[in-house]
Amino acid sequence: MNWRKIFLILGIVFILTGVFLPRDWYDAVPKSETDLTWIRQSDDSTPSTQKPPPPIKGVTLLQISFVIEGLAFVWFGLKRRTYTRLSADGRLLITTEENKTDFGSASLWLITAITVLGLALRLFHLGSELWLDEITTIFFYSPMPTLHVLTGFVSANNHLLNTLLMKLAIAFFGEQEWAVRLPAAIFGAATIPIFYRVSRLMLAQRSSLCAALLLAVSYHHIFFSQNVRGYSMQLFFTTLSCGLFVKGLQEDRLRIWILYVAAMFFNMASLLNSSFVFAAHILIGAAALIIIKRRGDSPFPLLYRLIAVFGVTAFLVFQLYATFIPQAYVYAQTTWSDPASGYSPFSMEFAAEMIRGISAGFGTSLIFLAFPFAVAVVGFVVLFKRNWILTASLVLPIILTVAYLILNRLNVAPRFLLIAFPFAILVTIQGIDSVARFIADKVNRKPDALAARLATAVVLLGCVASLASLRRYYSVPKQPYRTSLAYIEAQRKPGEIILAVHHAENGYRFYAKEFNLKEDEDFFAVRSVKMLDSILAAHDGRGVYLVTTLRRGLHLTHPDLEARIVQDWEIVKTFPATVGDAEVSVWRQRQSDLFEK
């Protein structure tokens, strides 16, 4: 096969595609929520909510990407290129723990059992109630053509890989809770053996098995593995790409670099903020070049290799998101500056939300919340000395994410920091090992065996605490739309209506069909005081149930509506949720207000 001729033909095809690509189709691609004709739009939108136009059209960027790709193929077709592995002088010398085995082939059975346990925990109760972000994803993208999913940026809810897999699951199994969550659950379980394999680069086999077990039973990882979002996929590909990056610098094999490019590409397809993982690898690559130069070897062979690897990765991602980029830029600058979209990084409100979220996975015992942080510093120091590249690969993305948000004065949501989770487990495991070793050495009685037993016992205790917290997680919905609606239906008399306020709107739309409820007849969406008064006036004398959820967002975006509700209504029932601030409250009008009418 003459690869040079194939490259030349491909190059010409891509260049012509870029130059003559039709542009009319792009006008039909949705650019914002207002373009989604199948979504009922709010009646109280104001000009201030409208986003400014992007500086360039996405279709223009797509054309440019095709031309660049064509020129690259032409260049490869005109040049003779063969892959030559770098000599030891041009590679980074990295000592890992992966060849130090403790259990032999038994480790394969152990990690298999841990993975099966993790899969079972992620499939159990997979069909529980959906919460707002999941429902919004289904509403927005389930009816949307695949081409528009790939080329139109409507909101940050489009976690591209998850959206495509969700549409595939709906096509096969229908619009069921367990079906739309199935891709996230599978990737969540698949992360366990990948995490074990990557942890072997810096931890002993027993410690790596403990880390995998802690991930398998983790409340937080199970939570995001049962979520119609791209977070479990991001953790899978982040962990995989970090391990491949270390192996690439260490061995410089073509197979490893190809896998790295693929892993990073799918990482970016999972979530756009995976770009911080890629940026971290670029910085680490620069540090590796400096280290090679300081030891007296030439850094240029590795420099050229990294330019090729990073260049191909960046280009593929650019081409994937070419049509997204202009709208995503505008969205980030407008939406994430809205206080309702997140928290100020230095606020007590953000600190309280972080503590609430972390403590949810450790039951009611504060010792399990404090202990991991007490040993994390010790674990970090040890791991950084042992394998600074992998440690930096896992921690730098968090630093870059926070720095970007702070410098751009954008709000932060706890889920933005989820990529710190694998690193948090590793430093905790190493910290426990180090503390156990210190205690065992002081006792001076078979310190190796005693340290291993102590460390394993503490990890198992943490696993028990996490498993205990899952009891509430499985019994309480992420957001109890269906539960609250079932309660209202059991109480509601003929002719009484339901008012779904603000973020309760889409949840009630989604579950209304289960109760044969019709919008604008049985239930009504309310997003302003004007709408509230209008509906009440039109249904004067009829009983009314009012429903609220995510009160912080309601307070920040519609304070006048919240004030009216608090003044004239009283809560009769509140249903708890596992998502912060997502409990659903059912209200009835105060008796004094009814008498006045």
DSSP state letters, 289-317: HHHHHHTTS--HHHHHHHHHHHHHHHHHH
Q: Is the pLDDT of residue 394 over 70?
A: yes
What gap in Å lies between CA 338 and CA 491, rounded to an integer? Answer: 38
Q: Under DSSP, is residue 497 helix (H, G, I), strand (E, B) or coil? A: strand
pLDDT of residue 105: 78
Q: Which residues pair with 584 in a beta bridge?
A: 549, 575
Of the listed ranges 130-144, 218-232, 303-317, 346-360, the least confidently predicted one is 346-360
What gap in Å lies between CA 106 and CA 109, rounded to an integer? Answer: 5
What gap in Å lies between CA 571 and CA 547, rounded to an integer? Answer: 9
When pLDDT is averaged across residues 330-356 and rounded to a whole number, the result is: 71
Residue 117, amino acid:
L
Pairing of strands 523-526, 497-501: parallel
What gap in Å lies between CA 185 and CA 172, rounded to an integer? Answer: 17
Of the spans 113-127, 321-335, 550-564, which averages the highest pLDDT?
113-127
Residues 6+ apart with CB under 8 A from 85: 252, 253, 254
pLDDT of residue 46: 44
Pairing of strands 569-575, 584-589: antiparallel
| Residue 501 main-chain phi, psi, to 5 deg | -95, 130
Top-confidence residue, 36 or 341: 36
When pLDDT is averaged across residues 476-497 and rounded to a whole number, the result is: 94
Of the spans 344-348, 362-366, 449-453, 544-548, which averages the highest pLDDT?
544-548
pLDDT tens track for 406-443: 888 877 888 888 888 899 899 999 999 998 888 888 87
When pLDDT is averaged across residues 502-509 and rounded to a whole number, the result is: 93
Q: Is the pLDDT of residue 44 over 60?
A: no
| Closest CA relative to residue 585, chosen from 474, 510, 488 | 488
| Closest CA relative to residue 565, chosen from 583, 584, 589, 534 | 589
Q: Is the pLDDT of residue 98 over 90?
A: no
Of the spans 181-190, 427-436, 517-526, 555-564, which averages the highest pLDDT?
181-190
How confident is residue 119, by pLDDT bands cut at 50, 70 and 90? very high
pLDDT of residue 48: 43
When pLDDT is averaged across residues 102-111 and rounded to a whole number, the result is: 83
How confident is residue 373, by pLDDT bands cut at 50, 70 and 90? low
Q: Where are the alpha helices (DSSP H) in 408-475?
A: 421-443, 447-475
Distances in whole angstroms, Cα of residue 305 to Cα of each of 7, 86, 263, 277: 20, 9, 17, 19
How confident is residue 12, by pLDDT bands cut at 50, 70 and 90? very high
User: Measured on CA atoms in the order 553, 556, 557, 563, is the torsion positive or negative?
Assistant: positive
User: Measured on CA atoms in the order 19, 22, 24, 26, is the torsion positive or negative?
Assistant: negative
Q: Is the pLDDT of residue 11 over 70?
A: yes
What gap in Å lies between CA 502 and CA 526, rounded to an integer? Answer: 6
When pLDDT is averaged across residues 72-87 and rounded to a whole number, the result is: 84
Residues 6+ apart with CB under 8 A from 535: 497, 499, 524, 526
pLDDT of residue 492: 92
Q: Is the pLDDT of residue 464 over 50?
A: yes
Q: Is the pLDDT of residue 45 over 50?
A: no
Average pLDDT, the chain: 88
pLDDT of residue 368: 46
When pLDDT is averaged across residues 460-467 and rounded to a whole number, the result is: 90
Q: Please count the residues of the chain.
A: 597
pLDDT of residue 47: 42
pLDDT tens track for 176-197: 999 999 999 999 999 999 999 9
pLDDT of residue 595: 46
Q: HEC states along 542-571?
A: CCEEEEEECHHHHHHHCHHHHHHHHHHEEE
Q: Which two tokens stand for residue 115?
A: 């993975």
Q: Is the pLDDT of residue 531 over 90?
A: yes
How confident is residue 372, by pLDDT bands cut at 50, 70 and 90? low
Q: HEC states along 2-36?
A: CHHHHHHHHHHHHHHHHHHCCCHHHHCCCCCHHHC
Question: Could you tell me the pTM of the whole model?
Answer: 0.92
∠ at Cα 232 (228, 234), nearest 5°? 115
* DSSP letters spanning 371-394: HHHHHHHHHHHHHHHH-HHHHHHH
pLDDT tens track for 212-250: 999 999 999 999 999 999 999 999 999 999 999 999 999
Pairing of strands 584-589, 544-549: antiparallel
Q: Is 278 exposed, middle or buried (CB count within 10 Å of its CB: 0-12, 13-18, 19+)?
A: buried
Top-confidence residue, 331 or 209: 209
Q: Is 12 exposed, middle or buried (CB count within 10 Å of its CB: 0-12, 13-18, 19+)?
A: middle
Of the listed ranges 524-528, 539-543, 579-583, the least confidently predicted one is 539-543
Q: Which two tokens stand for residue 210?
A: 């403990």
pLDDT of residue 408: 80
Chain-centroid distance, C-alpha 7: 37
Cα torsion for 328, 329, 332, 333, to the nearest 10°? -150
Q: Which two tokens stand for residue 346?
A: 């230095």
| Residue 444 main-chain phi, psi, to 5 deg | 60, 40
